[in-house]
Amino acid sequence: MKNDKFIVSFPETKYEDILVEKHQNLAECCSIDNSPIMFGCRTGICGTCLVFVTGDILPVSEMEREVLETIVPDRIPSHIPDIAQPRLACQLELTNNIAIYTDILTN
Ligand code: FES
């Protein structure tokens, strides 16, 4: 059976999982009330929405890669798994279940 909804989880935070439609953009379903993600421009320019993601996600675009190169810190906080990929949340289109980590613990 084809799965058209996916779960976005926020480990180590107070936030509950969110159910997201396939190919929905993460910025469309996350707010300050239901996630630890902070958004700014929502167009992939400002870098405010930097997150670390585990799970299968679509590849980084060239524009996103350029922004990430300038904003990803040299030292990743220890609560973020080594396998987590830095991404801009506003540029993430969901095609699988994922877990999102931010650089701030929000318990
Ligand atoms: S909100 Fe500005 S890059 Fe994502």
Domain ranges of the chain: 5-101
Q: What pLDDT is stored for residue 104 in this prediction?
A: 64
Question: Would the pLDDT of 62 be above 90?
Answer: yes
* DSSP characters over 4-69: -EEEEE-TTSSPPPEEEETT-BHHHH--TTT-S---SSSSSSS-TTEEEEES--PPPPHHHHHHHH
Question: Would the pLDDT of 99 be above 90?
Answer: yes
Q: What pLDDT is stored for residue 1 in this prediction?
A: 55
Question: Would the pLDDT of 2 be above 80?
Answer: no
The string of pLDDT tens digits covering residues 3-57 is 799 999 999 899 999 999 999 999 999 998 999 999 999 999 999 999 999 999 9
Q: What pLDDT is stored for residue 105 in this prediction?
A: 55
Residue 50 Cα to ligand 1 middle (Å) = 7
CATH topology of domain 5-101: Ubiquitin-like (UB roll) (3.10.20)
Alpha carbon dihedral 41, 106, 102, 83, in 10-degree steps, equals -160
Q: Is the CB of 39 under 6 A from ligand 1?
A: yes
Residue 2 Cα to ligand 1 middle (Å) = 31
Residue 64 Cα to ligand 1 middle (Å) = 10
